[in-house]
Amino acid sequence: MAEKDSGNSINRRQFLKASGAASAIAGSAGLAMFGYAAGIDPRSYQGYQSFEGADQNFNREKWTVDEPTYQKVGKGIRPDARTEVIFDRRGYMMRAYKPGCTIDDMNDPLKSYYKENPRDFELDVLGIEEIMPKFRQDSVKYRDQFRLANAFSHAMSAVSPRHDSRPPGEADFPRARRGGTPPEPVSLKDPEMTSKLIKKVSHQFGSTLVGIAKLNPDWVYLHTHRGRGFDVDTPLEVPKHWEYAIAVGVPMSWDSMYANPNYGTSEDAYSRARIIAYRLASFIKQLGYAARPHVPGNSYDIMVPPILVDAGLGEQGRHSVVITPELGCNFRASIVTTNIPMKTDKPIDIGVQDFCSYCMICADNCPSNSITREGRIDVRGYRRWEIDKATCLNFWNSNLGPMGCRLCIASCPYTRKANWLHKTAFKVSLNDPTGLSDKALTSLQKSFYDAPDPQKYYIPSLGGENASYREPPWWLRSEDFIEF
Ligand code: SF4
Ligand code: SF4
């Protein structure tokens, strides 16, 4: 079952017609220019005053709701990472793949998944047979052009905590030190004070955003990723000590994010989110409680986006990414599951569901048409937007630079630096119950923020021009530093 969207009731042409007066247009253009000028000032790079929590500055109290803005519409069904996490599925498929293979040649979980989703079988084969060879060919041909972007991305992931691959019954609990006994849980005075403490130390560890939720078992994979201390083919029983989920988030480098897809990287934020989660888990264990980090990339036993929603950090948008008041969707997150007793946060409703019902900017900019223009759909008992992950990954393999694509994040109107224009626009949007200002703001963005034709983002072998959404920052332009 799917909802009906209202559609974009004011498009660019209608907006310009409706506004009519040249002075209004000139005024808007002036504002856009001022906004642009303010936006390129590094002082507006929201999210880096982490250590004191100064950038988690949105007062959520006024916008809390009892139920999250995804909707429960049936019995929740736990996801199977082997088939529903595209990276895992593609990995299993690549191991089983032979030229001319059919669904019947796949292992059992893949076979039943592909029988229900035959289009994904075709898209996965297309990715392996056609897109990957062209990607490899152009990676060599254009290597020097993206030398700095790739070096930056690799450097960001160079220092990472070592993953503990023992099962949760061992890995999550405090260890005995120097032949002694493991620390007993300290007696904590008050769950509310503990939440305050956990949030404060998370900021001290470098987190921009932090929120706390009770862990909904529907978000725990039924079969998880490899290397997590579980037999992936045996259904995972949710450990009793995974009672709470602490969600932490940090921004991706603003400049390289806007220069997606060919110059963008998630690695800087992945790395910081990993370090924070490991520090936090260590802190909790020192107090005698259980804690397990779930970190990028793919070292999770849980689904991250709905936990961010439950923890009151934001709402899930049309592009499936969570949108927060402070960073929009320009952030990466980790989760720590734990049994330290805490007061939990409530979800928030900042109007994202309405805004996304007519905005469509991410869908317009997505090079692979992976973002629906229709309403939300029912996925495993919950109603929300869902992207086409197979076409999305095929595009990840169709552009160069640090692999991936965050164009939907770069183009989303919520992903804006903390300059006065965007702060004002967000305030107006939050406090206008009619939604008229949102529609006007969306039209303004569509009118004044040009973007390349989505086909240009592809590698030349697939008909593109290696384009990026915005110009790469000066420090990632290889041609200015390297002879080639
Ligand atoms: S990451 Fe890129 S390809 Fe995937 S949905 Fe977003 S814009 Fe589309
Ligand atoms: S660009 Fe952002 S606000 Fe617009 S529809 Fe997509 S997710 Fe929603």
Q: What is the DSSP string of 52-64?
A: GTTT----GGGGB
Q: Tell me, using a 6 A CB cutoff, whether residue 321 lines ligand 1.
A: no
Q: Tell me, using a 6 A CB cutoff, whether residue 339 lines ligand 1.
A: no
| Separation CA 320–CA 70 (nearest Å) | 11
**Whose alpha carbon is nearest atom 4 of ligand 2?**
359
Look at residue 10 and tell me whether its pLDDT is greater than 70. no
Place of tokens 């955003």: 209
b/e 372-410 (16+ beta carbons within 10 angstroms → b): beebbebebebbbbbbbbbbbbbbbbbbbbbbbbbbbbb
- Stronger pLDDT, 228 or 382, i.e. the higher one: 382
| Separation CA 451–CA 303 (nearest Å) | 32
Where does 59-146 have alpha helices with state H?
A: 81-84, 86-96, 108-116, 118-126, 132-141
**Residue 104 carries which side chain, given as an amino acid letter?**
D
Residue 480's pLDDT band (cuts 50, 70, 90): very high
The atom of ligand 2 lying closest to the CA of 365 is: 1
When the pLDDT of each residue in the chain is averaged and rounded to a whole number, the result is 89
| Separation CA 194–CA 212 (nearest Å) | 11
pLDDT in tens, 235-291: 999 999 999 999 999 999 998 999 999 998 889 899 999 999 999 999 999 999 999
Look at residue 226 and tell me whether its pLDDT is greater than 50. yes
Report CA(363)–ligand 1 centroid distance (Å): 9
Average pLDDT for residues 367-390, to the nearest whole number?
96
Q: Tell me, using a 6 A CB cutoff, whether residue 407 lines ligand 1.
A: yes
Residue 17's pLDDT band (cuts 50, 70, 90): very low
Q: Which residues, judged by CB distance below 6 Å to any ligand atom, belong to the binding site of ligand 2?
A: 317-319, 355-356, 359-362, 412-414
> Residue 187's pLDDT is what?
96
> Residue 3's pLDDT is what?
66
In terms of Cα–Cα distance, which of 264, 372, 265 is closest to 318? 372
The atom of ligand 2 lying closest to the CA of 411 is: 1
Residue 29's pLDDT band (cuts 50, 70, 90): very low
φ/ψ of residue 336, rounded to 5: -120, 120
Which of 47-56, 97-106, 353-362 is predicted least confidently? 47-56
Report CA(145)–ligand 1 centroid distance (Å): 22
φ/ψ of residue 54, rounded to 5: -65, -20
DSSP 8-state class, residue 251: E
Average pLDDT for residues 327-356, to the nearest whole number?
97
For the record, the structure tokens of 218 come out as: 């529907």
pLDDT in tens, 428-441: 888 888 888 888 88
- Stronger pLDDT, 100 or 417, i.e. the higher one: 100
* Cα dist from 421 to 38, 95, 114, 274, whole Å: 8, 50, 48, 33
In terms of Cα–Cα distance, which of 238, 210, 204, 208 is closest to 222? 238
**Whose alpha carbon is nearest atom 8 of ligand 2?**
356
Average pLDDT for residues 304-333, to the nearest whole number?
97
> Residue 27's pLDDT is what?
47
Look at residue 6 and tell me whether its pLDDT is greater than 80. no
Domain extents for the chain?
Answer: 40-418+450-480
φ/ψ of residue 8, rounded to 5: -80, 100
| Separation CA 384–CA 378 (nearest Å) | 7
Q: Tell me, using a 6 A CB cutoff, whether residue 319 lines ligand 1.
A: yes
**Whose alpha carbon is nearest atom 1 of ligand 2?**
412
| Separation CA 108–CA 124 (nearest Å) | 17
The atom of ligand 1 lying closest to the CA of 371 is: 5
> Residue 350's pLDDT is what?
96
> Residue 35's pLDDT is what?
52
Q: Which residues pair with 467 in a beta bridge?
A: none
Torsion, Cα of 178, 182, 187, 193 (10° steps): 80
Decide if 249 contacts 273 (C-beta within 8 A): yes
To the nearest whole percent, how much of the chain has pLDDT over 90?
70
Q: How many residues can be counted in the chain?
A: 484
Decide if 342 contacts 410 (C-beta within 8 A): no
Helix (H, G, I), strand (E, B) or coil at 72: strand
| Separation CA 455–CA 256 (nearest Å) | 20
Q: Tell me, using a 6 A CB cutoff, whether residue 446 lines ligand 1.
A: no
Q: Residue 142: CB partners within 8 Å, gap ≥ 6? A: 400, 459, 460, 466
Residue 46's pLDDT band (cuts 50, 70, 90): confident
Torsion, Cα of 145, 149, 151, 154 (10° steps): -140
| Separation CA 18–CA 28 (nearest Å) | 14
Average pLDDT for residues 166-185, to the nearest whole number?
86
| Separation CA 446–CA 166 (nearest Å) | 50
Residue 157's pLDDT band (cuts 50, 70, 90): confident
Cα angle 285-287-290, degrees, rounded to a multiple of 5:
35
Residue 5's pLDDT band (cuts 50, 70, 90): low
| Separation CA 292–CA 276 (nearest Å) | 12
Look at residue 459 and tell me whether its pLDDT is greater than 80. yes
* Cα dist from 475 to 38, 132, 149, 472, whole Å: 20, 29, 9, 8
Mutate which of 257, 385, 392 for ligand 1 pocket (most atoms within 8 A of beta carbon): 392
Report CA(172)–ligand 1 centroid distance (Å): 34
Report CA(32)–ligand 1 centroid distance (Å): 26
Q: Tell me, using a 6 A CB cutoff, whether residue 368 lines ligand 1.
A: yes
- The burial of 42, by beta-carbon neighbours within 10 Å (0-12 exposed, 13-18 middle, 19 or more buried), is given as exposed
